């Protein structure tokens, strides 16, 4: 890998972590409790798992130049990876079995407030 490529990856990683921090702060301000961050399993990852009331949100955080591009980046393969990770998370947290769940997104765009999109995508489990 070139030095430039490694530098770009580090920069992208920092931007992603910053966007996830912003998203978590937004969700907490909206009354959510953060249950997990960067939950990773073989074949999938969830940026944030959050709870408000009796609903669990599996949240994908996207930082892009505009909101439409951010939402479009949560495509079919990405949704399947989130669903795989969500199934594992639910299996490891038996207390959550009685809760409803959904796939949310937080879109982080330069010079704009972050936008929380509830029910942004389906999370097919099973």
* pLDDT tens profile 45-62: 999 999 999 999 999 999
Contacts of 39 by beta carbon, 8 Å cutoff, 6+ apart: 45, 46, 49, 85, 89
Question: Tens digit of pLDDT for each residue in 70-115?
Answer: 999 999 999 999 999 999 999 999 999 889 999 999 999 999 999 9
pLDDT digits (tens, 9 = 90+) for 19-38: 999 999 999 999 999 999 99
CB of 32 within 8 A of CB of 52? Answer: yes
Count CB atoms within 10 A of the CB of residue 111.
4
- Is residue 107 domain-resident? yes
Q: Does residue 126 sit within a domain?
A: no
Return d(Cα 60, Cα 74) in angstroms, integer: 8
Residue 12 has pLDDT above 90, yes or no: no
At 9, the pLDDT band (50, 70, 90 cuts) reads confident
Domain limits for position 115: 3-121
CATH code of the domain covering residue 59: 3.40.1350.10
């Amino acid at each position: 890998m070139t030095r430039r490529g490694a530098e770009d990856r580090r920069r992208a990683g920092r931007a992603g972590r910053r966007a996830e921090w912003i998203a978590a702060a937004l969700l907490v301000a909206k009354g959510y409790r953060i249950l997990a961050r960067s939950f990773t399993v073989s074949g999938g990852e969830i940026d944030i798992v959050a709870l408000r009331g009796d609903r669990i949100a599996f949240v994908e955080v996207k930082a892009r130049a505009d909101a439409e591009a951010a939402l479009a980046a949560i495509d079919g393969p990405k949704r399947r990876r989130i669903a795989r990770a969500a199934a594992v998370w639910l299996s490891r947290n038996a207390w959550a079995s009685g809760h409803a769940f959904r796939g949310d997104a937080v879109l982080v765009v330069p010079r704009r407030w972050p936008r929380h999109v509830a029910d942004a995508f389906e999370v097919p489990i099973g």
